[in-house]
Amino acid sequence: AQSVTQLDSQVPVFEEAPVELRCNYSSSVSVYLFWYVQYPNQGLQLLLKYLSGSTLVKGINGFEAEFNKSQTSFHLRKPSVHISDTAEYFCAVIDTGTASKLTFGTGTRLQVTL
């Protein structure tokens, strides 16, 4: 079984400031890792994913994340945020064996203000 912990339920940040959204996971098996974004009244959009290879992955909208196996973390970062980045962000994992069921964290609300 897998579990995902997003320690920060809300992260307020000023526009053009850097941001890091934290994600830690627990799993007895090998997993793939993901970050999704959800805008109000919409479904989930994939920001980026780690399947294998380089531990630093780049995604859409200028976001990147780093997989740290020893710390079982997959933190999301952006060097300079925009108002339009205001949304809910979800970290998720999937068992590499079955690759069927996504396990999500509880989400982090990123609030960008002027």
Partner 1 sequence: ETGVTQSPTHLIKTRGQQVTLRCSSQSGHNTVSWYQQALGQGPQFIFQYYREEENGRGNFPPRFSGLQFPNYSSELNVNALELDDSALYLCASSVQTGGFTEAFFGQGTRLTVV
Binding residues vs partner 1 (CB under 8 A): 4, 32, 36, 41-46, 49, 51, 90, 92, 94, 96, 98-107
* C-beta of 23 vs 112, nearer to partner 1: 23
Smallest gap from residue 10 Cβ to partner 1 (A): 11
CB of 20 to partner 1, least distance (A): 19
| Residues 23 and 91 sit within 8 Å (Cβ to Cβ) | yes
Q: Which is closer to partner 1, CB of 17 or CB of 99?
A: 99
The β-bridge partners of 113 are 14
